[in-house]
Amino acid sequence: MYESRTTSKPNSLTVTPNPSMAIPALLRIVSIFVFLFIPVSCSVPFIVLHGFSDQCSNRGVSKFTQLLSNWSGSKAYCIEIGDGTWDSWFMPLLEQTQIVCDKVKKIEQLSDGYNIVGLSQGNLIGRGVVEFCDGGPPVKNFVSLAGPHAGIASVPFCGSGLLCIIADSLIKLEVYSEYVQDHLAPSNYIKIPTDIPAYLKGCKFLPKLNNELPNNRNATYKERFSSLQNLVLIMFEQDKVLVPRETSWFGYYPDGSFSEVLPAQQTALYVEDWIGLKTLEDAGKVKYISVPGRHLEISKSDMMKYIVPYLESASRNEMIGDLSSYQWFSSI
């Protein structure tokens, strides 16, 4: 957790006026001036939700979080789920979402509202919190980096570590089987375009999150998601982890084929406005951003340009130094 540099809370300015008391007019004028001219630092805290195979204590996530906090002047909380890396792989996303929901409700500093910065899989958890978290504090801005919002059509490249071996053997079982769905987080958002009926029937997270279930659309999810102030969708031009990379913008293959990727605006999710994406876009609240770089490889200058402004700040005049791309995360 990182302290914001501007420590004045908005609350500290609300000196309770007592109208019944005869405050001399001059004093009242003075107090009005005080209200007008003290720069109110309305710094909204934000949370960071990391990707899978990653954790808050890893250097990449922690530095990323700290930089954003330093630059925006807003307090940051990297919310860990379970033990980090292991649970990010093997705990079902509904459960992960519930854990974050419980945590944000307990953090008093978030109670007036907060922003979310999501990394890869963390975006689905973040959106789950926006849509499903009953009684949670309001989410204002949602900045998504490489979020698999419309699903992924193939299992992300993993490698040969122990986690990958376990994951691979799970996936080789049936991806929409109850067992895999309950034991491998990424299976909760694998959407095989040529197997939509099995996806809708067996996939335990994304169909619910995207309100895709024909007889089970929940207007509350839409209402909550469309109440965001800004939705910033950052796609990485050389992203080879997300297939297709346009899923970062809610673009996806049409049902039944791998032929071409439809832009969000041509998908049923958008046209029929299942979750309020169209509502948000019509209100000018969705920013589609494309940046150079591979999966999550964002440069400091792009962080400054596309993330920091949404984390609100009183001052951001710090030098940002080297502007090249960084491999921040071990996550995929």
Q: Which residues bind ligand NAG (CB under 6 A)?
A: 63, 66-67, 70, 132, 134, 218, 220
Q: How far is the CB of 59 from ligand NAG (least distance, A)?
A: 10
Nearer to ligand NAG, 89 or 274 (CB): 274
Q: How far is the CB of 120 from ligand NAG (least distance, A)?
A: 21
Q: How far is the CB of 221 from ligand NAG (least distance, A)?
A: 6
Active-site residue 177, yes or no? Answer: no
**8 Å CB contact between 292 and 305:** no
Concatenated DSSP letters of 219-252? HHHHHHHTT-SEEEEEEETT--SSSSGGGGGT-B
- Cα 281 from Cα 276, distance rounded (Å): 9
Find the distance separating the first CA and the last CA of the chain, reported in whole Å.
Answer: 23
Nearer to ligand NAG, 126 or 251 (CB): 126
Which tokens belong to 23?
């405050």
Nearer to ligand NAG, 41 or 248 (CB): 41
Q: How far is the CB of 7 from ligand NAG (least distance, A)?
A: 13
Nearer to ligand NAG, 94 or 145 (CB): 94
- Cα 271 from Cα 7, distance rounded (Å): 44
Nearer to ligand NAG, 284 or 321 (CB): 321
Nearer to ligand NAG, 117 or 175 (CB): 117
Largest CA distance in the chain: 78
Active-site residue 120, yes or no? Answer: yes
Q: How far is the CB of 308 from ligand NAG (least distance, A)?
A: 13
Concatenated DSSP letters of 126-178? HHHHHHH-TTPPPEEEEEEES--TT-BSSPPP--SSHHHHHHHHHHHS-TTSH
- Cα 38 from Cα 28, distance rounded (Å): 15
From the list 53, 88, 120, 226, the catalytic residue is 120
Residue with tokens 């694998």: 190
Q: How far is the CB of 52 from ligand NAG (least distance, A)?
A: 23
- Cα 115 from Cα 138, distance rounded (Å): 9
Q: Is 256 buried (19+), middle (13-18) or exposed (0-12) by CB count in 10 A?
A: exposed
**8 Å CB contact between 53 and 121:** no
Nearer to ligand NAG, 70 or 290 (CB): 70
User: What is the sign of the dihedral through the CA atoms of 14, 15, 16 and 17?
Assistant: negative
- Cα 70 from Cα 167, distance rounded (Å): 36
Q: How far is the CB of 216 from ligand NAG (least distance, A)?
A: 7
From the list 4, 62, 69, 295, the catalytic residue is 295
From the list 149, 239, 248, 331, the catalytic residue is 239
Active-site residue 295, yes or no? Answer: yes
Return the active site residues.
Answer: 120, 239, 295
